[in-house]
Amino acid sequence: MKEIIMLIGCPKEIKPQEYRVGLTPNAVKEIILNGHKVLIEKDAGAGSGFSDQLYEEAGAKILQSAEEIFSQSEMIVKVKEPQRIERKMLKESQLLFTYLHLAPDPDQTHDLLESKCTAIAYETVTDDQGGLPLLAPMSEVAGRLAPQVGAWTLQKANGGRGILLGGVPGVEPARVTIIGGGVVGTNAAKVALGMGADVTVLERSITRMRQLDDIFHGNVKTIFANAGSTAEQLITSDLLIGAVLVPGATAPMLVSRSQLSSMKPGAAIVDVAIDQGGCFETSKATTHEDPIYDVDGIIHYCVANMPGAVARTSTIALGNATMPFILSLANKGWRNACKENDHLLNGLNVHLGNITYKAVAEALDLKFISPESALSM
């Protein structure tokens, strides 16, 4: 076995109703086979069905507190953005690898800058196909969940219209409109169509609409997305799913509060883009514990960590995607790993008190330095 290079720590997630974990026992095995050490906080994997014993059998050391994890680890691997108490434990020369979503979160950004840590965001790492490989697994999960939670939101007991998504013989199904035909939108369409709904996808890329037409054999309607077509769809939709993304930036606001009056009373909105600020003016982040609220008779579901509801599936899917990057960062050190991989370098958001991702700097009106220049700091 080669010389130990890095001490990697995985704390228990503390955001409300967050049951995912940054490392699975199988990931721990891979990391240790590459010559590193892994520290896991006690019960970190419990919410995803992974016991401390499984981590110990994989070779990890179990520590009793997050404070121990943060104080001893060179790289911190998480799922959600660090909460305030966690951010205070970050330090210079420490690498943080997790979802950050900084653009709509000035408080977190300020704390990360103040800590002088190096932070690589899952959601801005890219790939050769122009995709976001560490965001895609959770986008798939959130997209497939959206019609499920939308169907629940439409139930009368929850304030909805009292409509069954798929209808029954003699009764028409719900009309589902999905704004955005990317990973989230495509997966939402798959499940909504499977549940028997009448599905329309609004999309700006004509090439992508052709692909969707092929994927769904013409069973999903596609409409070019603009202000006019969006307004027209609001009138007829029972369920509206926001599935738009600008990588690393605040989500565009596509539906204003005044437009809600054109929707059917009791219609439902599911804003999957809420992690990036939401794409509806009336969106505000909610939790799995208290997921919905009413604005002008329209029921909003805006849970900020939707994949956390199916924590085991989400944890394994995310771990499959992050594993190669974790090994690269550990084996080579973050600087060399980023020098050799421009896609990983695109994930660099913060380093030594500087913003290194342009969309974040622009969203928060902060100074930007290029990630390339950060490599020499």
Residue 94's alpha-carbon distances to 4, 46, 53, 74, in angstroms, are 17, 26, 27, 5
Q: What's residue 251's pLDDT?
A: 87
Say whether pLDDT at 1 is over 50: no
Q: How large is the average pLDDT for residues 161-168?
A: 97
* Residue 67, C-beta contacts closer than 8 angstroms, at least 6 positions apart: 89
Residue 45's alpha-carbon distances to 2, 52, 74, 209, 327, in angstroms, are 28, 7, 20, 40, 20
Q: Is 275 a catalytic residue?
A: yes
Catalytic residue chosen out of the listed positions 198, 275, 300, 351: 275
Q: Is 101 a catalytic residue?
A: yes
Q: How large is the average pLDDT for residues 107-131?
A: 96
**What is the per-residue pLDDT across 43-58, written as a single tens digit (0 to 9) for each?**
999 999 999 999 999 9
**What is the per-residue pLDDT across 86-102, written as a single tens digit (0 to 9) for each?**
999 999 999 999 999 99
Q: What's residue 249's pLDDT?
A: 78
Exposed/middle/buried for 239, CB within 10 Å: 0-12, 13-18, 19+? Answer: buried
Q: What's residue 245's pLDDT?
A: 82
**What is the per-residue pLDDT across 6-30, written as a single tens digit (0 to 9) for each?**
999 999 999 888 999 999 999 999 9
Q: What's residue 37's pLDDT?
A: 97
Indicate the pairing of strand 298-301 with strand 292-295. Answer: antiparallel
Confidence of residue 130 (pLDDT cuts 50, 70, 90): confident
Q: What's residue 44's pLDDT?
A: 98
Write the DSSP symbol of residue 323: H
Average of per-residue pLDDT values in the chain: 95
**What is the per-residue pLDDT across 180-209, written as a single tens digit (0 to 9) for each?**
999 999 999 999 999 999 999 999 999 999
Q: How large is the average pLDDT for residues 58-81?
A: 97
Say whether pLDDT at 172 is over 70: yes
Q: How large is the average pLDDT for residues 146-174?
A: 98
**What is the per-residue pLDDT across 223-261, written as a single tens digit (0 to 9) for each?**
999 999 999 999 999 999 999 988 777 889 999 999 999
Q: What's residue 305's pLDDT?
A: 85
Global model pTM greater than 0.95: no
Helices (H) and strands (E) counted in the chain, each on its own, are: 14, 15
* Cα–Cα dist 208/188, whole Å: 15
* Residue 138, C-beta contacts closer than 8 angstroms, at least 6 positions apart: 99, 307, 314, 317, 318
Q: For a pLDDT cut of 90, what percent of the chain falls above it?
A: 93
Catalytic residue chosen out of the listed positions 36, 101, 300, 351: 101
Say whether pLDDT at 210 is over 70: yes
**What is the per-residue pLDDT across 276-299, written as a single tens digit (0 to 9) for each?**
889 999 999 999 999 999 999 999
- Are the C-beta atoms of residues 184 and 245 closer than 8 Å to each other? yes
* Cα–Cα dist 212/218, whole Å: 8
Residue 36's alpha-carbon distances to 1, 8, 21, 281, in angstroms, are 10, 7, 19, 46
Confidence of residue 2 (pLDDT cuts 50, 70, 90): very low
* Cα–Cα dist 227/239, whole Å: 18
The domains located in the chain, with CATH, are 7-124+311-374 (3.40.50.720), 138-304 (3.40.50.720)
Residue 368's alpha-carbon distances to 46, 99, 110, 118, 233, in angstroms, are 39, 20, 14, 15, 39
Q: What's residue 3's pLDDT?
A: 58
* Residue 284, C-beta contacts closer than 8 angstroms, at least 6 positions apart: 278, 293, 300, 302
* Residue 120, C-beta contacts closer than 8 angstroms, at least 6 positions apart: 95, 96, 97, 329, 334, 344, 347, 348, 349
Confidence of residue 270 (pLDDT cuts 50, 70, 90): very high
- Mapped to the 3 state alphabet, what secondary structure does 131-144 carry? CCCCCHHHHHHHHH
Indicate the pairing of strand 298-301 with strand 198-203. Answer: unpaired
Q: What's residue 321's pLDDT?
A: 97
Write the DSSP symbol of residue 13: P
